[in-house]
């Protein structure tokens, strides 16, 4: 996916936020930058050009937008958490007076329980596992 062109104020906020996040590993910084860039481009597409005018409803619309993109709940949850951290930083840094993202709940985790093998399946698996280390793992 190509980088979307952000208006200067949004780009400057994004740059400052990523610069401040020296606690993130390089790969995480890329994920945070990509997510915030996508969120800000979403806002721009909706005619929002002032970060101080972002309302809770705008963030909920973004969450609906994510849900329509066939993303897993884990990915959606991660993106919402990144947006929430961005707004917490914006408020702490004085760029906004209120944090509309704080009241937006991320999607519920869909924790799938692992399927437990039957006794026969375990026996069958053990017949094909040859290495002692692998057998111990099974």
pLDDT, block means (10 residues), the chain with 138 residues = 74 95 94 96 94 92 90 89 95 93 77 76 83 78
With respect to residue 118, please indicate whether it lies within any of the assigned structural domains. no
What domain count does the chain have?
A: 1
Residues with Cβ within 8 Å of residue 81, at least 6 apart in sequence? 106
pLDDT (0 to 100) of residue 21:
93
pLDDT given for residue 112 in this prediction: 64
pLDDT at residue number 59: 92
Place of tokens 């994920």: 31
The residues near 84 (Cβ < 8 Å, ≥ 6 apart) are: 101, 102, 104, 106
CATH number at residue 14: 1.10.150.130
Domain assignment of residue 122, yes or no:
no
pTM (2 decimals)? 0.74
């Amino acid at each position: 996916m190509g980088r979307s062109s952000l208006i200067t104020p949004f780009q400057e906020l994004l740059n400052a936020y990523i610069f401040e996040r020296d606690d993130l590993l390089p790969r995480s910084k890329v994920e945070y930058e990509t997510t915030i860039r996508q969120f800000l481009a979403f806002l721009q597409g909706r005619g929002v050009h002032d970060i101080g005018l972002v309302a809770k409803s705008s963030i909920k619309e973004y969450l609906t937008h994510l849900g329509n993109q066939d993303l897993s709940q884990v990915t959606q949850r991660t993106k919402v958490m990144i947006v929430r951290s961005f707004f917490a930083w914006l408020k702490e840094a004085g760029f906004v007076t209120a944090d509309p993202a704080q009241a937006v709940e991320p999607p519920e985790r869909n924790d799938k329980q692992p399927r437990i093998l039957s006794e026969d399946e375990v026996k069958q698996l053990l017949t094909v596992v040859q290495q002692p280390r692998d057998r111990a793992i099974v």
